[in-house]
Chain A
């Protein structure tokens, strides 16, 4: 490799120095002169009418600067939080889109809905005063689950959404699917729940608003994965502030996993309040608030059927899903159970006909939106559980039924029956790499050995494919996105040859400051130390759609390459001028510009200097400067794919599940930094394992109260709950349509892991007649299944 810190090197992360020494700059770390602190007054009821708010006592508390309510926002003409995606129902009608105000006006619709904000000199004073605000509520009947929402006669979350339905949508060819089922030799069926999860980035959400009276400029510092999108949504739709008077910064952000994509009401509240009180206003969620108000993930109830011929070839897939959207539409909520879910239902299989129906409903719960994987884990889990059931129905080995139905690599590019066109993938190769990692032939021997020790051993496979690199703007637009989803980069050479890159992607753990710098160092043959990556500030970056959906490298990295192409074109012109050669005679390699066939050459540093200190440029043809920007709009999604295998052991006396081996084989296309990619896989796997074995966000169905509102009730995976992993990837199938050949790696682990673990759990329990278990497979649930299936024990 030419550059020791170039593409393919496991460069140690440049951002680590500040994080390891306590010098990170997270939103709550910021302080401003005269800064005040905001604490929200939140509804304790899932559904209630607000009859009145008495804050006279609160306003008189020590240190209180202001108490503000929805009525104040209404008087200031503050708008509703907008939704960025529109879905149309089967009948062509648009989805129901009720208003979602930052502070509730007449009704509250979930526990945690904000009613008022108290602003005080210290956080403690604001909290004390918030407890003195008296809200007169008339409690209304609540809807705590999606199944209750569509139960005829359920209370209405929004009066203008009959039966609580937001949209009733479908995708695929129903007639073709019905015909295939009519001729099927076998049908596999499954009913499953993909339970609600709380994303739980370790840094709670926070936001600080500032207003400069002299210039009329607002600044919002916030925990965001996409500050430009927040600026656009909040400025244009909520507060009516033009972009040139609104700066949004997302400094160091402590994890997102989707939950920090969305524009939240608190961001608007602190920005608006900063002008009202004439001082900076900071709000930081405590963890309890995060549980109540961060957008949650998943929450599907599905029925699926797979038609097969006599040999186990898949003929058709039929899926019906009920999706819970919560009390209001979060920013991207409608896209998750539709275009990021149903379009992935082909999985890695050549199933010729697919039909999916999705009914999305409102409930009196926190809004639901993207959480790591966002629709794709739900699709993978459904397919891979169903394929295991199908293997049982036709009596085939679980690896063989998969192999038989894989889309062969020769069929690429492959048009699925659900809108997507996969560009590359070698699914059999993933499986071939995985099987030796888990010694599949030796499994039955290990199972017998476990049984001899009184333990139950299971092995589970999951293959996945995801659509990442979101998104080709024309496709996204056709699917209901209200904005294009390109990315932007600017590459600015400085006179002495160092480079600052401005990227619209945002790093909140992914290591862009290292990976993006590797790409630049490689291209121009310069030391990585000479490259600075700037992100997360709307005043510095031209524009950005942000980081989610494993898009940063595939879309943001491609924008970077496009900007570097422009820099190189300009540098070539400058070199030709300096070397008195024709532009076409200049050869470029690793940042050196050479006149072909001669020893006359210049480094990029020499060219950068001349670009900024020109004396005799032909100004009609050549401008000074070496600073280029590019917008990149992808031609297609990227399709990371892989095969995950989990082997585990269950103690039937306690129901405790222990993972004994986990192998992940992934195809992410080309890899820039293997160390970072493997780290992304590890983290993703544990979030998938967390869903399979531990995590469950529970609302009381009748009252709508959040039962799992803290780390003492919501089980986060800890170090001693999970194993170390065997992680492999191959680079044989690079993406065909972006310049780096990259596919994205951020969500893969989460997508494959939950299905692999649950298939292994069901396999371990197969002797008890178990063919399915809903997640999470907690010790109690597993123990009860074993007990109920054991007549002798049940009789006790």
Chain B
């Protein structure tokens, strides 16, 4: 059985005929070619697939495309400005070396942006608890935590702590 799904993805209206069972992540990756959103597990544990649906973080492997019908979806490809300027959270991940292999990174960044939306000035403990749904195997989280803190500061308009070349 197929059905028509329409939504706004990264500011563009899209509409596709898909099987009803199509997951949101499959819709994004296979039907729209937005391969920045990753699939790292099959039990909704790892968070590599996190996108924003109407501004809230959602594990897109655990939602059907039809559930996002009519919604406003943002993926990692839509986070930076149109001119390519990185979102403050993306810039903070780069500055603080919050990524290595890059596979968990899109989900991690999208989760972090939503975390800061809910809690604009999180403590280290709050950041760690807030990222509990995202698994990273490379970084040991140390630099991710630093990046999220710096990203939060930058998003608040505060001067991001400059990190001089050590």
- Point out residues on A near B: beta carbons under 8 Å: 4, 9-13, 15-24, 26, 28-29, 31, 124, 200-204, 252-255, 257, 286-288, 508-511, 674-676, 678-679, 682-687, 710-712, 716, 718-720, 722, 724-725, 749
Contact = CB atoms under 8 A, between A and B. Distances in A.
A722 B140 contact: yes
18 contacts: A10-B165, A20-B76, A20-B90, A21-B77, A24-B102, A24-B103, A28-B35, A29-B35, A200-B137, A203-B103, A254-B38, A286-B41, A287-B43, A679-B97, A679-B143, A682-B140, A682-B143, A719-B134
B118 to A, nearest CB: 16
A288 B42 CA distance: 7
A676 to B, nearest CB: 7
Contacts of A4: 165
Given A22-B34, A510-B100, A683-B138, 18 more contacts: A21-B90, A22-B75, A23-B36, A24-B36, A201-B137, A202-B48, A204-B39, A254-B38, A287-B42, A287-B43, A288-B42, A511-B100, A678-B97, A711-B45, A712-B43, A718-B131, A718-B141, A719-B144
B137 A26 contact: no
A137 to B, nearest CB: 24
B64 to A, nearest CB: 13
A20 B101 contact: no
The 9 A-B residue pairs with the shortest CB-CB distance in the complex, in nearest-first order: A22-B36, A254-B103, A19-B102, A509-B101, A686-B140, A711-B45, A682-B140, A509-B100, A22-B76
B50 to A, nearest CB: 12
A26 B99 contact: no
A12 B46 contact: no
Nearest to B141: A719
Nearest to A508: B101
Contact of B97 (A12, A21, A286, A685): A12
A254 B97 contact: no
A225 to B, nearest CB: 11
B66 interface: no
Contacts of B104: 202, 254
Contacts of A508: 101
A546 B140 CA distance: 24
Main secondary structure of the interface of A (DSSP, over half): loop
B39 to A, nearest CB: 8
A15 B41 contact: no
Name which of A15, A16, A28, A725 has the most chain B CB atoms within 10 A of its CB: A16
Contacts of A716: 45, 135, 137
Given A16-B94, A204-B40, A22 B100 contact: no
Contact of B137 (A18, A31, A683): A683
Contacts of B54: none
Name which of B75, B139, B144 has the most chain A CB atoms within 10 A of its CB: B139
B166 interface: yes
Nearest to B92: A20
Contact of A20 (B48, B86, B128): B86
A124 B30 CA distance: 12
Nearest to B87: A20
Nearest to B106: A22
A369 B76 CA distance: 35
B142 to A, nearest CB: 4
Given A16-B99, A684-B140, A710 B38 contact: no
B152 interface: no
Interface string B95-139: 101011111111001000000000000001101110110111111
A335 B79 CA distance: 46
A511 B99 CA distance: 10
Nearest to A718: B132
B140 A254 contact: no
Contact of B94 (A13, A22, A286): A13
Nearest to B96: A675
B57 interface: no
